Amino acid sequence: MFPGAFAERADADYALVGAPLDRSTSFRPGARFGPRRVRHYAQGFDDYDHDTGQRFTDCAVTDHGDVGPTADAAEYLQFLEGTLGDYREEGATPLLVGGEHTVTVAGVRAVDPDVFVCLDAHLDLRESYAGDELSHATVTHHALDVADRAVVVGARTGNETEWERASGADVTVVEPADVGDWTPTFADESVYLSVDIDAFDPGFAPGTGTPEPFGLTPREGRRLVGELAPVAEGFDVVEVNDRDDGQAATLAAKLLRRFVYDHATTRDDG
């Protein structure tokens, strides 16, 4: 159980669901251990948040546990979408913890946002990778089947076709050098926020499948998650694996809590 996620399902404002999928990782495997590690490394955090004056244990978070993968990826995503959608219908905001980035497809489908916002080193705009149409490298491509547009923050790599696709009117890329000057503005649009931990420089989060240098700092990520949380209707953090001493999982757990604190503040105001 994620520390502090003690709410009963009927009382929950937030539902944490683990998705330990690890099938299409193209470099370093281990994302199946992500949900377990994120829960584990959250144990050392204080319950109280000085910035918002809230306690995590008062934010009505329930931990559903993990939804274990099946042999068929499409079937798994459909089942995961149904689980998240059920919580949405019950009034809880889904908090998905991966697992490889492919699980985000289920989260986006369940939330059906206007805008898909993703912190990611990679564009993930491929239609397939190594013959796999549900690869972790196709997430933004699939998100655009649901959302009207996508914003990829921290992207710094992709093939030529992906960069050409990213020049379309429905895709915005905020490269790492420009993050400091970028302020999220979404007016009345609904947002789904995904955090691929490889958006961060591997010096801060080495435990991920495809690390890419020259990435975001944790402080930048904290600001972005805090500013995006009030307009987001779903959240995930993905691509944490077991190839470090807990740095990636600790950062992921902290960003998840940041999302809850800042989202709950707006929820309380409403």
Does the model's pTM come out above 0.75? yes
3 located within any domain = no
% the chain with pLDDT above 70: 99
pLDDT of 266: 81
pLDDT of 268: 61
Structural domain tally of the chain?
Answer: 1
Kindly report whether the peptide bond that precedes residue 44 is cis, defined as omega within 30 degrees of 0.
Answer: no
Q: List the single range of 102-106, 156-160, 182-186, 202-206 with lowest mean pLDDT.
A: 182-186
178 located within any domain = yes
Per-residue pLDDT of 137-154, as tens digits, reads 999 999 999 999 999 999
pLDDT of 21: 97
Residue 215 bridge partners (DSSP)? none
Provide the residue range defining the domain that includes 208: 9-269
Report CA-CA distances (Å) from 163 to 125, 126, 158, 167, 174. 8, 10, 6, 7, 13
pLDDT above 60 for 270: no
Tell me the three state secondary structure of residue 137.
helix
Question: What whole-number distance in Å separates Cα of residue 98 and Cα of residue 17?
Answer: 9
Question: What whole-number distance in Å separates Cα of residue 98 and Cα of residue 209?
Answer: 12
pLDDT above 90 for 106: yes
% the chain with pLDDT above 90: 96
**CATH, residue 147:** 3.40.800.10
**Model confidence at 213, in pLDDT bands (50, 70, 90)?**
very high
**Mean pLDDT taken over the chain:** 97
Report CA-CA distances (Å) from 66 to 14, 16, 18, 28, 48. 15, 9, 4, 22, 26
Q: What is the mean pLDDT of residues 87-114?
A: 98
pLDDT of 207: 98
pLDDT of 269: 60
Q: What is the mean pLDDT of residues 240-248?
A: 98
122 located within any domain = yes
2 located within any domain = no
